[in-house]
Amino acid sequence: MCNLPPKFHSVCRLCLSFCGDNCSDVKLPIFDRDKDKSRLSEMIMAYLSIMVSPEDMLPQVVCGSCASKLDEFHTFRELSHKSERLLEQFLHYANSLSGPIEVCKHNIDKKKV
């Protein structure tokens, strides 16, 4: 096994920022199952396509800033999926009232002429 600097495991796994013991920024364990941030490993994989494992010998913490960004990605993803569902529902509803959307678009184009 190689000789790693003592601070190696204290850097943020995502941005490499270091936060010592007397730093105001928090270090969140990636695999902490007892806290609200227990989904960090899943979010890292889903949003960044980075595989993390408790056995990979790399730092097992992320800084508060990176955790916040992951939460923002998650919120944006959820909003985008909800918007997509609502748009599809609206389109389905509009089609049920007036026929396929192509017919509606064709009628709009005729009115412009």
**Residues marked as binding for Zn(2+)?**
12, 15, 63, 66
Run of H or E residues at 67: helix 64-98
**Burial class, 27, CB count within 10 angstroms (exposed 0-12 / middle 13-18 / buried 19+):** buried
Run of H or E residues at 70: helix 64-98
Among 7, 64, 17, which residue's Cα sits nearest to residue 40?
A: 64
Residues that constitute the known binding site: 12, 15, 63, 66
Find how far residue 22's CA is from the centre of its chain.
Answer: 29
